[in-house]
Amino acid sequence: MFNFRKKKSPKLFVIGLDCAPPELVFQQYRADLPNFSKLLSRGAYGNLRSCTPCITVPAWSVMTSSKDPGVLGIYGFRNRADYSYDRMTIATGGSVKEPRVWEILGQAGKRVVTIGVPGTYPPRPVTGAQIACFLTPQTVSTDEQGNKITKTFTYPAELSTQVNAWAGGEYIVDVKQFRTDNKDFLLEQIYDMGRQHFKVVREMMKSQPWDFFMFVEMGTDRIHHGFWKFIDATHSKYEPGNKYENSIRDYYKYVDGEIGELLKLLDEDTAVMVVSDHGAKKMDGGICINEWMLRNGWLTLADDRPTRLTPIEKVEVDWSKTRAWGEGGYYARIFMNVQGREPEGMIPPADYEKVRDELAEAIQGIRGPGGEDIGTQVYKPQAIYRKVNGLAPDLIVYFGNLLWRSVGSLGHKEVWTLENDTGPDDANHAQEGIFMYYDPKQNLGGRELKGLEIMDFAPTVLQYFGLPVPADMQGRAIQLQENN
Ligand SMILES: [Zn+2]
């Protein structure tokens, strides 16, 4: 029993805000955000539980395909290319083999537009138009004579020139570097990118025919990572009265205003969804996973321990005496060195599960700087995914339930660090993102929905359009109202 209002020709407009957390949007900032407030009080909304790991690159593809990271074979921003020790590749749109919801809508004859949805570079043919995501390498290049050349980052290809023109010359897919101490410059870039993106969204809304329109803005993610310590009084580096105290609130007010402009362009038969791929929370510090591996006999170096910070790839490892190592990131990926799998594997396959359990328990026991239990969670891919395709990590770890990140480099004085080895970053991802649904002609009374999962998005969209949900989708269409 589902309860979308029946429409002759339904249209759906989806606003994706990367990393937008429920606490800010539904609570702390709500009173300052008139447009969000309208959607919340007349629509239905709830926390949207992300996948594990709750990381942008897998998460948006999980959301739009309703397949878990194991089925997709995408376990993070970077994935193992093979069982060698050093080959990792960035998961591009080409890694996504399962159909995304707009492709299914296209097969049903719907016109679709997608803009900036992570997992869409390189762009693919759609029944409409697609502008690629934040991983697009460049939108403009310069030839030997100094002429600007438009690169292809759209489907159809000729749209790229038009998008660059709307953007005033060069369409920005992401800020240049969000892990920086130059906060004013970062803020300026986030706003410049936002103004450009929302302009392109408006132009696309007006110039393209569409039934389904979805865009994702990355500025929300970038501002959380860059400014969280200034706004969160519980952050260890927070200083009351600092000049960026309202930076994130002001940015949400700006985004709310832009969304208000978009809502004015929608007719009464178009419903709106607002979604995020995960939330955000403060980051207390990092656990230096390979330092820990080294000190606890899992990892052995061929040379002396580095005395200054050195990425694990730059260190000579004695693989014949190494049982496991880890990757840095917002969460840890742990790899085991297994006979017959890795080039110099040493764990006999028969001992794999026993060693994996021993390692999982030891990692769970890594203490914080004060000797405290930080509440680390360790996952086996086979236990949390329907299938484990591609090259999964042997273990996936949330240190301190994501209040701590994973640090891959060596040369740290301790097993934990308060500085990030890849540049300043004050926020980690949180498991819960947001979902909002609003139909201008159906007052849902601001009902709060419970138990929503990221894989529910695609089935909900299909149900909105009155289309069947493929049996292999893992989510379920969201119920907007109680059955009656
Ligand atoms: Zn994200």
How many angstroms does the Cα of residue 436 sit away from the middle of ligand 1? 17
DSSP state of 367: B
Q: How far is the CA of 278 from the centre of ligand 1 (A)?
A: 6
Q: What percent of the chain stands above pLDDT 70?
A: 98
Q: Is the pLDDT of residue 484 over 60?
A: no
Report the separation in Å between the CA atom of 58 and the middle of ligand 1, taken as the mean of its atom positions.
9
- Give me ligand 1 centre to Cα 186, in Å: 18
What is the Å distance from ligand 1's center to 62 Cα?
12
- Cis geometry, peptide bond prior to residue 369 (ω within 30 degrees of 0): no
From residue 295, give the alpha-carbon distance in Å to each of 62, 322, 325, 366. Answer: 37, 12, 12, 12
Q: Please give the pLDDT value at position 138.
A: 92
pLDDT at 305 over 70: yes
Over residues 317-337, mean pLDDT: 96
Q: Is the pLDDT of residue 20 over 80?
A: yes
The Å distance, Cα 99 to ligand 1 centre, comes to: 20
**344: its two tokens:** 């110099």
1 pLDDT higher than 60: no
Give Cβ neighbours of residue 10 (< 8 Å, ≥ 6 apart).
Answer: 4, 211, 269, 271, 464, 465, 466
Distance CA 45, CA 260 (A): 18
The strand pairing partners of 395, in sequence order, are: 334
- Per residue in 444-473, pLDDT tens? 999 999 999 999 999 999 999 999 999 999
Q: What are phi and psi of 453, to 5 degrees?
A: -120, 150
Token digits for 251? 């940015």
Summarize pLDDT for 332-343 with one digit per residue, the tens: 999 999 999 999
- Ligand 1 mean position, distance from CA 411 (Å): 30
Instruction: Return d(Cα 100, Cα 88) in angstroms, integer.
Output: 25
| Cα 216 to middle of ligand 1, angstroms | 10
CA of 92 to the centre of ligand 1 (A): 15
Give distance in angstroms: CA of 9 to centre of ligand 1. 32
DSSP state letter for 35: H
Q: Compute the distance between CA of residue 118 and CA of residue 136 in angstroms, rounded to an integer.
A: 10
Q: pLDDT at position 236, please? A: 87
Please give the Cα distance from 309 to 117 (Å, whole number): 35
Compute the distance from residue 147 Cα to the ligand 1 centre, in Å: 34
Q: pLDDT tens across 119-130, in order?
A: 999 999 999 999
User: What number is the average pLDDT over the span 198-222?
Assistant: 97
The CA 59 to ligand 1 mean position distance, Å, reads 7
How far is ligand 1, taken at its centre, from the CA of residue 144, in Å? 37
Chain segment 89-103, per-residue pLDDT in tens: 887 888 899 999 999
* Ligand 1 center–CA 171 separation, angstroms: 20
pLDDT at position 478 is 95
CA distances from residue 353 to 160, 207, 357, 360, 395 in whole angstroms, order as listed: 50, 56, 6, 10, 11
- C-beta neighbour count of 319 within 10 angstroms: 18
Q: What pLDDT is recorded for position 91? A: 78
Taking the centre of ligand 1 as the mean of its atom positions, its distance from the CA of residue 21, in whole angstroms, is 11
In the block, tokens 């909105």 appear at 464
Separation of CA 221 and ligand 1 centre (Å)? 6
The phi, psi pair for 315, rounded to 5°, reads -105, 140
- pLDDT digits over 168-185, tens only? 999 999 998 878 888 999
Angle between helix 183-207 and helix 159-166 axes, rounded to 10 deg: 130
**295 alpha carbon – ligand 1 mean position (Å):** 33
Task: Return the structure tokens found at 433.
Answer: 């993102």
CA of 457 to the centre of ligand 1 (A): 16
> How many A from CA of 16 to the centre of ligand 1?
10
The mean pLDDT value for 420-445 works out to: 90
Cα 261 to ligand 1 centroid, rounded to whole Å: 24
- Please say if the pLDDT value at position 87 is more than 90: no
pLDDT at position 85 over 60: yes
Q: How many residues does the chain have?
A: 484
Rounded to the nearest angstrom, the distance between the alpha carbon of 19 and the centre of ligand 1 is: 5
Assessment of whether the complete model's pTM goes beyond 0.85: yes
DSSP type of residue 412: -
Ligand 1 centroid to Cα of residue 122, in Å, is 19
- Angle subtended by helix axes 219-231 and 183-207, to nearest 10: 150
Ligand 1 centroid – CA 172 distance (Å): 17
If you write DSSP's letter for every residue of 106-149 in order, what string do you get? Answer: HHTT--EEEES-TT--S----SEEEE--TT---SEEE-TTS-EE
The two three-digit tokens of residue 268, written as one number:
């009464």
Q: What is the helix (H) or strand (E) element at residue 38, kind and residue range?
A: helix 34-42
pLDDT digits (tens, 9 = 90+) for 368-379: 999 999 999 999
Whole-number Å distance, alpha carbon 217 to ligand 1 midpoint, is 10
Distance (Å) from CA 312 to ligand 1 centroid: 25
**Nearest-CA neighbor of 275 among 63, 423, 54?**
63
Whole-angstrom distance, CA of residue 472 vs CA of residue 3: 23
Q: Give the span between the Cα atoms of 420 and 398, in whole angstroms.
A: 16
